[in-house]
Amino acid sequence: MSTAATHQEHKSHAPKSIGCMVITCSDTRTPDTDTSGQAIHKLLRQFGHEVVSYHLVKDEPAQIKSRIEEGLTNDAVQAIIINGGTGISKRDSTFEAVDAMLEKRLVGFGEIFRYLTYMDIGSPAIMSRATAGIIKGRILFSTPGSENAVRLAMEKLILPELVHLVKELSK
């Protein structure tokens, strides 16, 4: 059996719909201006997934951690998708909040995301601290907050593998 066939076989036994929590970290956005969070919602629903909860928080580690912990207590949440706060400015603290909580890191997510970003915008891609990992049996993705970055992460990396990742976590 080829590697591609094996990969497709794994995906065929994966759940079809994943319950997701979406968190936008921003000091300036409101629910009405959160186009990145809205894009995540729309793309998840297009792929048949459910947005179990949505939160817009300031880029404050305590608020971010609190919302993640809240999601971990909800059995319907199988994946947490965070956008915003992954840059290098003084206010960008999402990476530190998330990284401290991860039990296993999926370093390939950040590496490939930065590569794809580089192919799109060039050297500013090095400023992204996008990351992903496992926390208490859930998959967590943290992406930059721009709508273009969110769409890239969702369309090229997260959505193609989400059901497969959740299936692997259930083993």
CATH code of the domain in which 89 resides: 3.40.980.10
- The continuous run of DSSP H or E covering 138 comes out as strand 138-143
Mean pLDDT of 5-15: 59
Domain count, the chain: 1
Q: What band does 16 get if pLDDT is binned at 50, 70 and 90? A: confident
The DSSP result for 45-107, as a single string, is HHTT-EEEEEEEE-S-HHHHHHHHHHHHT-TT--EEEEES--SSSTT--HHHHHHTT-SEE-H
**The pair of three-digit structure tokens given for residue 153, joined into one six-digit string:** 């992460």
Query: What is the reported pLDDT for 11?
Result: 54
For Cα atoms 45, 86, 161, give the angle at the middle one, nearest 5 degrees.
40
Structural domain harbouring 65: 3-169
* Residue 123 to residue 89: CA distance in whole angstroms: 17
Please indicate whether residue 171 or residue 165 has the higher confidence score (pLDDT): 165
Render pLDDT for 42-99 as a digit per residue (tens, 0 to 9).
999 999 999 999 999 999 999 999 999 999 999 999 999 999 999 999 999 999 999 9
- Are 144 and 83 in contact by the 8 Å Cβ rule? The answer is yes
User: Which residue's structure tokens are 């692997």?
Assistant: 168
Verdict on whether the full-model pTM lies above 0.85: yes
